[in-house]
Amino acid sequence: MLRRLLRPAAPALWLAMLGAVALAARSSATNPLGHPPRPAGKITITWLGHASFLVVSPGGTQLLLDPWLRQNPSTPDSLKDSSRYHPAAILVTHSHFDHSGDAKAIALASGAPVVGSYDWVQTLGLPAAQVMGLNVGGTVKVGDVTIHAVPAVHGSVPDGRPMGFVLEFADGRNLYDTGDTWIFGDMALIQELYRPAIILLNVGGGPFTENPQTAALAVRKYFRPNVIIPMHYGTFPILASAADVRAAFRGDRRLKVMTPGETRVF
Ligand SMILES: [Zn+2]
């Protein structure tokens, strides 16, 4: 019966099915929150602007990275409201406002723990169950994701120290969030230990962090990712623009320049 139904209608049916798949892919790219897309076995990444991301693991664990939303000029208005986020954990690379600005509010609203530098997380005044302090070399597990704290060359006044994070997924892939670091030689050890397939790469430049050219050199010199997602640019005129980022990577097809609010699946 099924074969008889399929055979005469096959071309039209397949076209319709392909259309539905294309539509689903498109809607998952434009409807990141409220109903986060969760394609099984995939890593879903939504850029919330600047250094803020929502990452959903292949097993469905939602991690909010460096949430700075309400005052972030690059965050779309529809994504600024803290109450819409229900992550399994909030990860903060360092205490500067453009990385930690909404961490406490979202933690209080959602009950999610904050993962960050031990000395800084202690200062938030959160219930003990929501304090997940780490230091470089440390590891915590949240849902099906193992989170490793790695070094970053930057500042974190008044509290804690700057870090990057490596998210180790159950499917064997790793994602490296560089934080605000400059290039440094121990990136070779991050590659040796974790071989990240996806890098959320600070490229902002200006007075605060490495510029796109130096960030591109860091990837060329130390890493072999499949996907490079630039961040920390375009938020203010003093930072690098998307055109600057593209120019520095000279057509590298691994570079995925996203728009704030956009979701991609890997
Ligand atoms: Zn920053």
Q: What is the CATH number of the domain that holds 46?
A: 3.60.15.10
- Do 89 and 18 belong together in one domain? no
- Do 50 and 18 belong together in one domain? no
- Do 26 and 134 belong together in one domain? no
CA distance 56 to 210: 27
**Boundaries of domain holding 12:** 1-30
Ligand 1 geometric centre to CA of 71 (Å):
14
Q: How many domains does the chain have?
A: 2
Q: What is the pLDDT of residue 160?
A: 85
Residues within 5 A (CB) of ion ligand 1: 98, 180
Ligand 1 geometric centre to CA of 40 (Å):
32
Ligand 1 geometric centre to CA of 180 (Å):
6
- Do 73 and 135 belong together in one domain? yes
Ligand 1 geometric centre to CA of 50 (Å):
8
- Do 145 and 37 belong together in one domain? yes
Ligand 1 geometric centre to CA of 184 (Å):
17
- In tens digits, the chain (266 residues) has pLDDT values of 334 333 433 444 444 444 444 433 333 444 445 555 567 789 999 999 999 999 999 999 999 999 999 999 999 999 999 999 999 999 999 999 999 999 999 999 999 999 999 999 999 999 999 999 999 999 999 999 999 999 999 998 888 899 999 999 999 999 999 999 999 999 999 999 999 999 999 999 999 999 999 999 999 999 999 999 999 999 999 999 999 999 999 999 999 999 999 999 99
- Do 110 and 124 belong together in one domain? yes
- Do 101 and 14 belong together in one domain? no
Q: Encoding tokens for residue 263?
A: 């979701």
Ligand 1 geometric centre to CA of 66 (Å):
9
Q: What is the pLDDT of residue 15?
A: 42
Residue at token pair 């690098």:
240
Q: What is the pLDDT of residue 159?
A: 81
pTM of the model: 0.86
CA distance 134 to 207: 28
What secondary structure, in 3-state letters, does the chain show?
A: CHHHHHHHHHHHHHHHHHHHHHHHHHHHHHCCCCCCCCCCCCCEEEEEECCEEEEECCCCCEEEECCCCCCCCCCCHHHCCHHHCCCCEEECCCCCHHHHCCHHHHHHHHCCCEEEEHHHHHHHCCCHHHEEEECCCCEEEECCEEEEEEECCCCCCCCCCCEEEEEECCCCCEEEECCCCCCCCCHHHHHHHHCCCEEEEECCCCCCCCCHHHHHHHHHHHCCCCEEEEECCCCCCCCCCHHHHHHHHCCCCCECCCCCCCEEEC
The answer to whether 158 and 182 have CB atoms below 8 angstroms apart is no
The β-bridge partners of 131 are 114
Q: What is the pLDDT of residue 158?
A: 81
- Do 68 and 103 belong together in one domain? yes
Q: Encoding tokens for residue 162?
A: 């700057």
- Do 229 and 259 belong together in one domain? yes
pLDDT in tens, 11-26: 444 444 444 444 333 3
- Do 13 and 87 belong together in one domain? no
- Do 23 and 68 belong together in one domain? no
Ligand 1 geometric centre to CA of 258 (Å):
18
How far from the centroid of its chain's Cα atoms is residue 220's Cα? 20
- Do 36 and 26 belong together in one domain? no
